[in-house]
Structure formats: C-alpha cells, structure tokens
Structure 1
Amino acid sequence: MNVTNFDCIVIGAGPAGLAAACAARDCGLEVALLDEQAAPGGQLFRNVESPLAQRLLDEKDRRTGLDLVARFRAGGTDYRPHSTVWAIDGTAVSYSRNGVSERITASHIILAPGGMERPVPFPGWTLPGVMGAGGMDILLRSDCLPRLSRQEPVVLCGNGPLLLLLACHLLDAGAPVAAWLDTGDTLRRLAALPHMPAALGDRAYLAKGLRMARRVLSSGMPIIRNVRSLRAEGDGHVEQVRYTTSKGEYRLPAGMLLRHEGIIPRTHIPNALGLAMTWDEVQRCWHPTTDIRGRTSCEHISIAGDSAYVHGGDASLLKGTLAGIDAARRLHVISEAEADHRSAGTLRELRRLEWARGFLRHIFAPHPDIFAVPDETIICRCENVSAGDIRAAVREGFTNVNEIKRFTRCGMGPCQGRMCGPALAELAAQASGLPPRQVDMLHVRMPFRPVPLNEYCTLNGLGYEENHTA
C-alpha cells in the first residue's frame, strides 16, 4: 500500500536529513524522506556505501557516514530516492519520481536540502572545462578518475575550505595541478585573527585542516595570493587562465579550471514559502531565520543542516537530530521534558561547534571584488543576460533585484535564479551604491523545479490534452 500521509516529511538525504529522520523515528513518528539522489548521503557522504567514495573519506568521516546510513536504513523511514520536490502547499508536498508526480502530506515538514557553492560569474565561466570545486568532488566520487588524469593541467581558484579538501583529493588522484589562485584578501584575513581562538574549541577539525594544508604545501603546488580579474580563455574549451595580482597580469595554461568561493545555504524553498530570511554581512548571503532547533517563522516547517546556516557536516548531523526531536515535541508525541532530555547533549555540542566555526566564517569571507566583472560577462546563462545589462537597468532607476529581473529577465530561466541571483544582487548593489541587503533577494515561486505538464495535470486530475490545447 502506498502511504500518502505521515507525521513528518524530511526533504533531503544529506547528514542533516538522515539524522532528522532517525531522530524523529526514534521518537515514534511515521516519517517519509524524499531525495533527488539514488542513494543516501548527500554531498559529504555521497555514495558512502561504495568502496570508491570510502577511499576519499578520512577514517572518521567514513565511519560516521556508514554508521548514519546504516542506522537510517534500519530505522523504518519510508525512503523515496530519485524524488524531486517541486511544490509545498500547506502540509502537502508534491514531487516527481521516475516520470510520475505524487503528493504526500504530513503534520510537520523538515527541509534539509543542504548548501550550494556560491555561483560567481566571470569571463569564460561558460566554457567547457570550467566548473565548481563541488562538481569536481562529485566526479571524483563517481569513478571519473581515469578521464581526469588525461586532462591538461588543472587550475584551482577561489577562497574556501572545500578547495583545500579538493586539492588533496586531486593530489591523491595524481592530477596535474598547475596552481592554486587564491582570491581571498590578505587584509581581511588578518582582521579575522581575533576570532582564531574560537577554532581551538574544535581541535579535531582544526587538526584536520592543518593536515590538509601540510599535504598541499609539501606537494610544491604554486599558491598565488590576492588574485583578481579572473578570465578563462579558449576556443570551444578552456585553454588558459588569465588573472592579475598587485604585480601585474599573468596567464596559465589549463585544461580545467575549478573555482570555489564558499558554500551558501540553499534558500529557494524557504524563499518560495515566504519564510523569514536574514542577511549575513560577513558571508554576504541570505539564510532562513531559525533558532538552534531549526524552528522557522512557519509553525509546521523546520530547517536543518547547512540549508539554515553553513557550519559543516558534523554540525549538520546535530542540527538534524535536534529538528527531528523538536518535530516530535511539536506534534505532542513526546513531552517537553523528554524532548529536553533527548536534546541536552546535542545542544551543548552544537553550541560548541557553532562557536568554533565562527573563525572560518571570517577567515573565508568572500571579497566583494570577485563580482567586479566586465560588462560582457554573462550573468544569467538561462536568459543570456550580461553584467552590462544589469548595470544599464540600474542606470534606468531599477535598484530592487526583482525590478531588474522584470526589466532584463535575469533570473527568469528554469533555475529561477539559483545560478545568477547572488551575482545579480552584488552587481545591483555595486552599481547603485546600496548595501546588498537593500536590493533584496529574488522572489521564487512554485514549482521550485521544472515539472512536465502531463505530470502536473495527471496529479491534479486535469485532462492533459484539453489543458495542453487550451
């Protein structure tokens, strides 16, 4: 029998989603978990059940990931992989799975879609061979090493801890890494040093970062600081990378350019649902307004993991656990006293990690100059809108990003601004002289993701042929 009503629906099978489902099940809730991927794990534990992915994880992460997935699979959650959620209407969740759209309901919904790489357009970013560091990490966990080893030199570029991890993976794979172009700002990093003592609150994480840094430094990989004005150039494929430093302009041959400028929360679903959002001045991004248990401005919706605020995978496990327990408390399946008892240790550990990770928030703060791109740079790939188009709209008097969207169509494509929204806001702020928070964020509407018309009509009892010809 296909169950359609649950106590709790969890969206996302990363560390936070899996932990939330396990905690809610332990409290006695009937839980469904929807996820786009074929297997549980999210990005941190992607394909963790496969030997290849296990080799790319250190011992602690491998053990944590395997234990979490095993606990989840044994817990009795109604797990629905290959499921793309495209609408949430009240307590009803609509999703597409294997070419069919279905709808299930629940008394409580936990969103755990995770974080995403901050999209930063630059000249040549649409060339084949240019991709994000996270995308390459996915390929590495998907047995693409032979193809990678035959590439021309790889150039890393950006500012963020994921680059350090990827650099180690590439070195282990024997990839020819030509250079690391660091876009971080030295003065900003020096200003972050007063926050460094907080990192001692998580010595294991700090030691892991130092081990990776030693691995990179001992490899002899060139690290070039204060890089600006990045360009990828080539005929049909990236062939060289051009950039400037304080000493002048340089070129590097490259068959692949991997850029990373930090992780930001995925906000499309919270945005579309009208949940309260907060602007982070340091990391220059919007995130849902939540408390430590993931409670949002909507009583029946919680958010867990990096989709609320980016603190990393181990913190996401704790956030998911708290959200699952709190869902049971809200539904009066467990008492306040029992919820407090179950949450006490997790709360203490999460507060410690949040304090310790504050240093990373400052040391890897993005430099606003990364968005100072030439007018010809394509910002919205879906609608072919350039930086010059956006600046022209601001000169016409449009300063709110949603006004610019209507004027230029930037953000109107299938991705609904996922890839251009942050850059659009930064460009509008620079051109208008306003702070980014004052130019607003793009409004998102359902469906969150494209859904075939025949699936939508079938789900809602509409005649597809009649609707199609109307």
Structure 2
Amino acid sequence: MDRNMDLIVIGAGPAGLSAACAARACGLDVTLIDEQAAPGGQLFRNIETPMAQAILDPKDRETGLALVKRFRESGATYYPNAVVWGLEPHKVSCTMNGKAEELTASFIVVAPGGMERPVPFPGWALPGVMGAGGADILLRSGGTLSADKDAPVVLAGNGPLLLLLAGHLLDAGVNIAAWLDTGYWSRRILSGALMPAGVLDAAYVAKGMKMALRVLRGKVPIIRNVTNIRAAGTDHVEKVLYDAGGRTHEIAAGTLLRHEGIIPRTHILNSLGAKHVWDAVQRYWHPVTDEFGRTSVDGLYVAGDGTYVHGGDASLLKGEIAGIEIARRLGVLSDAEADHRCTPARRKLRAVRIARGFLRYVFAPNPAIFNVPDETLVCRCECVTAGDIRKAVAEGFRDVNEVKRFTRCGMGQCQGRMCGPALAELTAAAQSKSPAAVGALQVRQPFRPVTLENYCNLNAPD
C-alpha cells in the first residue's frame, strides 16, 4: 500500500467525491477513505442500487450517479469500509480490514458532512423512535420503519429533512398521522426579509415548494406551536404526547421520527484544536475556514456541510474548490489557472449562500426543545440525565467540560456526538447564558473506537 501521496480525502459524500475528482483532474495523487461500503455519503447513499435510485428525485439521482461514476473513473485510490480514528497534520490513522494503517499526505481534506441535531426527550430511547435521516436511509435500503406496515407514523420537529422524508413516506404509502411542528416563529418571521434573494437559486426554491405541495396534497395534519414532545410505550413506542394550545394531546403511533435540523460534524477538527465559532441562529459550532475550506491547522481543509450546512449541491461546489486550491498550493496549477478553474464554482457557491440565507432562519432551532424534565436521559452511554447536569451546574460547575468530568456526560463510546449539543444547551440554560459562553466539548483522539491491539501495533516503536 502506498502511504505517501499528495492528498487524502476523508469521506465519500458529495464534498469528498467532488474534492477527489477535482484534485485528480489536476493530476494529483489522491486517496479517499470512507467507512461506508460504497461511495455516496448520506445524500447519495446506495446510489448505485435500484432501491436507492427509485426513491430519489430524478435530478438528484442523475447528479449522484454521475458523481460516483466520475469518481470511479478518476483514478483515485479508494478505501471503503475504513474507519478513521486518528488524525494529525499530514497523517491519518485508520482501521482497514481489521488492521491498523497509517497514511501520510501533503494535504488532507476532511469531508465528514452533517448530522441530525440530537435532542433528548422523554421516551427517545424507545424502539420505534428515530431521526428523519435514519428513517430515510432505511427506506432507501429497502427496509421498513415498523413490523406493522399500517402502524401510524408521527413526524416531529423543524428541519429540512422532514419535507423530504414526508414525500418519501407518502410515496411509499405510509400513514402519517401528524406532523408536530416545533418551529421558532420569532426567527421564521425574520426570514421574510431574505426570501427575495431566493431568485438567485430559483430551481432550489421550486424544489422545496414542490415537496411542500406534495405534503399538502397528502393531507398530512400539521400541528403548529408544539412543545414538550414525549414518546410513551412499554417495549416500543405506542403513542406520542405533546402540548399545544395550552393542553396536552396524544396520538397513537408505531413510529416517531424527530428532526430538529442538521449540524456540522466537528469531532475530527475539534480533536486537532482547529478554530471554531458559534452560530447563534443555527445554534451550532462550525470551523473557521477561508473560501477554499482552509482551516487554522496547517495542511488541513474541510469541505461540505462539515464547514457550514448549506446542502448537498453546495457541498459539491465546496469540494471542487478545495481540490483545485490544493493543486495550486502544491504548485501543480499556476495561480491564474487555479483561479480560472475555481471561479465558476466560487461564484455559484456565493449565489447559493445568499439565495438560501432565509433557510437559516426558517429552520432555526427553538431553544425550548431542550426544556426537558430532570429524569430525561441525555447521555445514553453513561446514563446521565438532565437533572444530573442541572445539579452539577447548581454545585458550581460552569463549563461543559467541567460538567462532563463531574457527570461523565460525553465520556461514552460516541464521545459526545449524541449528547454534546444537549449538554451545552442544558448547562447554558441553567445559568441563563448562551451555549457559546459554556464552550464545546473537548474531543480527544482516538475519536472513534479502536482496539488496543491495533492502536499499540501502529504506535509501537520499530
């Protein structure tokens, strides 16, 4: 295995594939590493299979197939089923086929994508409760949401995947009992001033309107201003309870799909100490980069929704820009040639960001979604409740990492991926502060599980 190359790309989603293709087109020696069995990421997951193709929008299907085909024909080295658990400037540590491997390169592009914002609530650990993204992956993999195909499904939250998922469920003949909207209306009102800019990306706006019309035609009951969502059941969700209009309501359900928006995956960059900033509207941390995706860590770039969540087509542009810029920095392209190749993508990306600026407010998360009862489980790995976190703050622990050390919230196998955002929100709310004031969890390497044998074998002296 050749372990020295020009560029290593981590992640085979739209951004990673695009970066690899752009860099290869410039003549770079490129290796792409991904933990999935096939390229495509979450957006184009299993895109080469008939099942995934059938459920995707025709244009998305065409884009995804063309991207994967271009990548496979690019000549880039590709390692699927590889788990990256360590990263240093110019060096990647991972596990391939059960064996630890170390690869080095002049530059590294991290394209981890985004993830659904995890929000704890009573009953969220019950079987039958999952995120919208996970449910959509099940549908595209040929699975079913419930053993009882006729059992009603409840959608809940406020995020872009709900529209997409609702359409897929309706097309599959699934009974959607209700859509419980937790939208933050004071933010949504602000989006009105930015909506006219949507004409810069009219096709994207039209696509969203088409999905919304599909939901309206499907006569899905939409219930506004919902708070205090909880799932109830014995060994599986049986009903969903919520508050609206000053009263508590309940709906029989076999599945509850909750989605409160998408946040960047920042664990890898966080572990390297890359500079991040807090977005007060979308309520997440994201890495500081220049327009090419260059981070504060030497030789490290980030592309796609791992920088800031703009969507799959924007991720394609971010990846392309990063791949060309790295070729320029290696001296393979002149400044003029790199600028010539990058300019169309940079212009289009700027237009996309302006056009979609209103969505930042439409899908702004409502802080009230974290107002959960004390007994609510927050950290599944270490069985830490919301009450445990509030108690720690009351006893004088102020920073999220102090609360982490006291409660063990965020010390489990997921290293805070599933509890970190809620830990910050609860710690901040208990002090009447912004989450920005209590900091972000400090991620340590290895940031993914690795056997002691593999770790020692890789790090043992020769």
Paired residue secondary structure (1:65): helix
Query: Which residue does 2:210 correspond to in 1?
Result: 211
Post-superposition Cα deviations, 1:258-288, rounded to whole Å, max 9, x if no partner, equal 0000000000001001000010010000000
The equivalences for 1:39-188 within 5 A come to 39-145=38-144, 150=149, 152-188=151-187
Mapped to 1, the partners of 2:170 and 2:148 lie a distance apart of: 11
Mapped to 1, the partners of 2:442 and 2:393 lie a distance apart of: 18
Matched-pair contact (CA < 8 Å) for 1:149–1:176:
no
The equivalences for 1:240-251 within 5 A come to 240-251=239-250
Matched-pair contact (CA < 8 Å) for 2:89–2:298:
no
Query: Which residue does 1:383 correspond to in 2?
Result: 382
- C-alpha displacement of 1:138: 0.8
Q: Structure 2 counterpart of 1:300, which letter?
A: G
Matched-pair contact (CA < 8 Å) for 1:114–1:305:
yes
Mapped to 2, the partners of 1:247 and 1:379 lie a distance apart of: 26
Query: Which residue does 2:287 correspond to in 1?
Result: 288
Query: Which residue does 1:308 correspond to in 2?
Result: 307
Mapped to 2, the partners of 1:29 and 1:134 lie a distance apart of: 34
- C-alpha displacement of 1:60: 1.1
Query: Which residue does 2:221 correspond to in 1?
Result: 222
Mapped to 1, the partners of 2:198 and 2:242 lie a distance apart of: 32
Matched-pair contact (CA < 8 Å) for 1:180–1:223:
yes
- C-alpha displacement of 1:97: 1.7
Q: Structure 2 counterpart of 1:390, which letter?
A: I
Structure 1: which 4+ aligned runs deviate by more than 3 Å? Answer: 145-149
Matched-pair contact (CA < 8 Å) for 1:15–1:316:
yes
- Once the two structures are overlaid, the 10-residue window that deviates more, 397-406 or 182-191, is 182-191
- C-alpha displacement of 1:149: 6.2
Do residues 239 (structure 1) and 238 (structure 2) align? yes
Mapped to 1, the partners of 2:119 and 2:248 lie a distance apart of: 21
Q: 1:116 to 1:146 in 2, by over 3 A?
A: closer
Matched-pair contact (CA < 8 Å) for 2:128–2:146:
no
Matched-pair contact (CA < 8 Å) for 2:89–2:300:
no
- C-alpha displacement of 1:236: 1.0
Mapped to 1, the partners of 2:292 and 2:357 lie a distance apart of: 19
Q: Structure 1 counterpart of 2:193, which letter?
A: P
Q: Structure 1 counterpart of 2:84, which letter?
A: V
Q: Percent identity between the aligned chains?
A: 63
- C-alpha displacement of 1:145: 3.9
- C-alpha displacement of 1:462: 6.8
Q: Structure 2 counterpart of 1:100, which letter?
A: K
Query: Which residue does 1:468 correspond to in 2?
Result: none
Paired residue secondary structure (2:206): helix
Q: Structure 1 counterpart of 2:445, which letter?
A: M
Mapped to 2, the partners of 1:34 and 1:76 lie a distance apart of: 14
Post-superposition Cα deviations, 1:154-189, rounded to whole Å, max 9, x if no partner, equal 100000111000000000111111110001033331
Matched-pair contact (CA < 8 Å) for 1:18–1:72:
yes
Paired residue secondary structure (1:155): strand
Do residues 37 (structure 1) and 36 (structure 2) align? yes
The equivalences for 1:247-396 within 5 A come to 247-396=246-395
- C-alpha displacement of 1:147: 5.3
Matched-pair contact (CA < 8 Å) for 1:149–1:174:
no
Matched-pair contact (CA < 8 Å) for 1:148–1:175:
no
Paired residue secondary structure (2:429): helix
Q: 1:296 to 1:146 in 2, by over 3 A?
A: closer
Query: Which residue does 1:411 correspond to in 2?
Result: 410
Gaps of 5+ in 1: 464-470
**Would you say how many aligned residue pairs link Structure 1 and Structure 2?**
462
Q: 1:151 to 1:410 in 2, by over 3 A?
A: farther
Mapped to 2, the partners of 1:198 and 1:426 lie a distance apart of: 32
Paired residue secondary structure (1:292): coil
Mapped to 2, the partners of 1:33 and 1:203 lie a distance apart of: 33
Q: Structure 1 counterpart of 2:61, which letter?
A: R
- C-alpha displacement of 1:99: 1.1
Q: 1:151 to 1:273 in 2, by over 3 A?
A: farther
- C-alpha displacement of 1:299: 2.5
Matched-pair contact (CA < 8 Å) for 2:135–2:145:
no
Matched-pair contact (CA < 8 Å) for 2:89–2:297:
no
Paired residue secondary structure (1:192): helix
TM-score, length-scaled by structure 1? 0.97
The equivalences for 1:437-456 within 5 A come to 437-456=436-455
Q: Structure 1 counterpart of 2:38, which letter?
A: A
Query: Which residue does 2:16 correspond to in 1?
Result: 17
Mapped to 2, the partners of 1:146 and 1:258 lie a distance apart of: 10
Q: 1:458 to 1:151 in 2, by over 3 A?
A: farther
- Once the two structures are overlaid, the 10-residue window that deviates more, 193-202 or 264-273, is 193-202
Q: 1:178 to 1:320 in 2, by over 3 A?
A: same
- C-alpha displacement of 1:229: 0.4
Matched-pair contact (CA < 8 Å) for 1:158–1:259:
yes
Mapped to 2, the partners of 1:28 and 1:295 lie a distance apart of: 20
Mapped to 2, the partners of 1:220 and 1:63 lie a distance apart of: 29
Post-superposition Cα deviations, 1:338-369, rounded to whole Å, max 9, x if no partner, equal 11011011111000001111111111100000
Matched-pair contact (CA < 8 Å) for 1:151–1:256:
no
Q: Structure 1 counterpart of 2:403, which letter?
A: I
Mapped to 1, the partners of 2:359 and 2:190 lie a distance apart of: 12
- C-alpha displacement of 1:101: 1.2
Mapped to 2, the partners of 1:187 and 1:223 lie a distance apart of: 19
Mapped to 1, the partners of 2:169 and 2:147 lie a distance apart of: 9
Mapped to 1, the partners of 2:460 and 2:186 lie a distance apart of: 60
